[in-house]
Copies of this chain bind each other. A is one copy, B any other.
Amino acid sequence: MNTFGTLFRLTDFGESHGVAIGGVVDGMPAGITIDFDDIQHQLDRRKPGQSPLTTARNESDKVQFLSGIFEGRTTGTPIGFIIPNKDSRSKDYENIRHTFRPNHADYTYSAKYGLRDHRGGGRSSARETAIRVVGGALAQQALALHGISVEARAIQIGGTANPDMFEQEILAAKKDRDSVGGVIECIISGVCPGLGEPIFGKLQAMLASAMMSINAAKGFEYGDGFNAASCRGSQQADNFHIGDNGRVCTRTNHSGGIQGGISNGEDIVFRVAFKPVATIARQLETITDDGMPTLLEVTGRHDPCVIPRAIPVVESMAAMTILDALLMHRSRYKFASVSNS
Q: Place the interface of chain A in its size category.
A: 35 or more
Known contacts A3-B200, A200-B2, A212-B202, A230 near B66 by CB under 8 Å: no
Stretch from A37-45, A46-54, A55-63, A220-228 contacting the other chain: A220-228
A80 interface neighbour in B13, B79, B111, B208, Cβ under 8 Å: B13
Would you list 13 pairs from A and B whose C-beta atoms are within 8 A, ordered by A residue? A2-B199, A3-B11, A19-B65, A19-B67, A103-B236, A105-B260, A108-B193, A142-B336, A145-B336, A181-B230, A218-B229, A235-B276, A239-B285
Q: Identify A115's interface contact among B11, B20, B30, B260, CB under 8 A.
A: B30
B261 touches A291 (CB 8 A): no
Q: Is residue A187 contacting chain B, with contact meaning CB distance below 8 A?
A: no
In the bound complex, residues from chain B placing their C-beta under 8 Å from that of A224 are 218, 275
Q: Is A88 an interface residue (CB 8 A)?
A: no
Q: Output the residue of A15, A258, A335, A340 with the most chain B CB within 10 A.
A: A335
Q: Does A237 have its Cβ within 8 Å of any Cβ on chain B?
A: yes
Q: Are B79 and A82 in contact, with the CB atoms below 8 A?
A: no
Question: A-B pairs with the 5 shortest C-beta distances?
Answer: A105-B260, A1-B201, A219-B221, A29-B335, A147-B340
